[in-house]
């Protein structure tokens, strides 16, 4: 594989992961503890539940409940992140090897996909739990904000085929 293809593949996987996790990975009102690492990137939502949550006028009780959800899932996100990181590292090693072992790459690719699915499922579970804390008005406002954001993204991309 050429360096350009490897870089493009890595960038594409990273973009997909960020796109899926971005709504749930928001800044916490409290400072983070610990150093950087894979687990830090896979913590799930911060105390606000997502970037849009700060515009929902959350009560102190709602913020506390969201923080509790995040903290309860933190170990799961860390474990899933470490598993994903290890799978990706193995994939990189296979891609960079002197000889191409297609069956090993396919097997490792399936392992990476399974680890990514695990992170996506955790994100979905936390999102569902977080939505239960919101009032119907807050849920409607959140839905509207997300629809507007999706419209902006589509507008930036322009018409298909160009």
28: pLDDT strictly greater than 60:
no
CA distance 115 to 117: 5
Q: Phi and psi for 34 in degrees, rounded to 5?
A: 90, 170
Cβ-based burial of 81 (10 A; exposed 0-12, middle 13-18, buried ≥19) = buried
Q: Which residues have C-beta within 8 Å of that of residue 107, sequence separation ≥ 6?
A: none
Residue 6: pLDDT band with limits 50, 70, 90 = low
**Three-state SS sequence of 77-110:** HHHHHHHHHHHHHHHHHHHHCCCCCHHHHHHHHH
Contact 64, 149 (CB under 8 A): no
- Taking domain 45-142, whether its CATH number is 1.10.10 is answered by no
pLDDT at 112: 95
Q: List pLDDT tens digits, range 96-121.
A: 999 999 999 999 999 999 999 999 99
Q: Is the pLDDT of residue 56 over 50?
A: yes
CA distance 48 to 59: 11
pLDDT above 90: percentage of residues in the chain: 40
Per-residue pLDDT, 151 = 85
CB 53 within 8 A of CB 66: yes
For 89-100, the pLDDT digits (tens) are 999 999 999 999
- pTM listed for this prediction: 0.60
Higher pLDDT among residues 40 and 118, named by residue: 118
């Amino acid at each position: 594989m050429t360096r350009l293809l490897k870089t493009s593949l890595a960038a594409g996987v990273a973009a997909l992961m960020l796109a899926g996790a971005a709504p749930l990975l928001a800044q916490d009102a409290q400072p983070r503890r610990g150093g950087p690492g894979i687990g830090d990137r896979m913590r799930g939502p911060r105390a606000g539940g997502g970037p849009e949550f700060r515009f929902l006028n959350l009560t102190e009780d709602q913020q506390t409940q969201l923080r509790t959800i995040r903290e309860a899932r933190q170990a799961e996100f860390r474990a899933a992140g470490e598993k994903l990181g290890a799978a990706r590292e193995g994939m990189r090693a296979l891609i960079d090897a002197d000889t191409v072992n297609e069956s090993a790459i396919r097997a490792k690719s399936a392992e990476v996909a399974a680890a990514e699915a695990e992170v996506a499922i955790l994100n979905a579970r936390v999102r569902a739990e977080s939505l239960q804390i919101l009032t119907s008005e807050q849920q409607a406002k959140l839905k509207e904000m997300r629809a507007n954001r999706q419209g902006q993204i589509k507008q930036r991309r322009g018409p298909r085929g160009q």
